[in-house]
Amino acid sequence: MIRVRTIGLWLLICGTFFTFSHAEMKCAPGKCGGAVGEKIFEKDQHKERRCSVCGMRLNMFPQTKYRAEVKGKTTYYCSIHCLASDIRKGVEPQKIKVTDADTLKYIDAQKAYYVITPGKRGTMTMTSKLAFASKDSAEVFAKQYGGHLSDFTGALKEAEKDFKKK
C-alpha cells in the first residue's frame, strides 16, 4: 500500500514537472508582459551591452536605459543613477538619450517628460524616475501609479539625492 502511494506521488511530481517545463506562454501582445519581452529582445540590437558604471546588462531594465557621447564615444548607462554617478566623477556626457518608457526607443533626454515617484523602487534607486516622450503619457502614468512630472534637470537633481544619503 505504501509502495503504491509512493509511486503515485512520484508520478504526480514528474507529471507536474514535465507539464510546466514544456508550457508555452499564450499571452497576446500587450498582455502578460509579452509586448515588453518582444520589445527587449527583438528591437534592442545591443542586448548584451552593459552599463559603463555598474556593469548591469542593459536589457534587464530597458525602460531606464541611457546613452550619451563621452569623448566622441557612445557610453551606455542602466539608469539616471549611474549617469549621475559618472557626472559626479567629472564625466561630461553630451547628446544624452533616454528610453521612452512606452516605446523603449531612445529619445532626447532634455525633451523627455519624467515621472518621479518617491517610495517606488527604480533602477539602482529607491525613487523611480521614468521618462516619456509624450506629456500625456507621463500624466496618465503619474495618475495611475503616483508621482509627479519633472524635466531632465529635475530628474537628475532627484538622482543626486541618492549620493547625499551616504
Residue 48's pLDDT is what? 80
On the question of pLDDT at 120 being above 60, the answer is yes
13-25: per-residue pLDDT in tens? 545 444 433 333 3
28-55 residue pLDDT tens: 333 333 333 334 433 445 458 999 999 9
pLDDT of residue 119: 87
Q: What is the largest CA-CA distance in the chain?
A: 76
pTM value? 0.70
Quote the CA–CA distance of 29 and 48 in Å, as a whole number.
24
Describe the strand order of the beta sheet including 148-150 as a list of residue ranges. Answer: 125-132, 113-122, 148-150
Arithmetic mean of pLDDT, 147-161: 96
CA distance 37 to 164: 35
* Backbone phi, psi, residue 107, to 5°: -130, 165
What's the pLDDT tens digit per position in 127-139?
A: 999 999 999 999 9
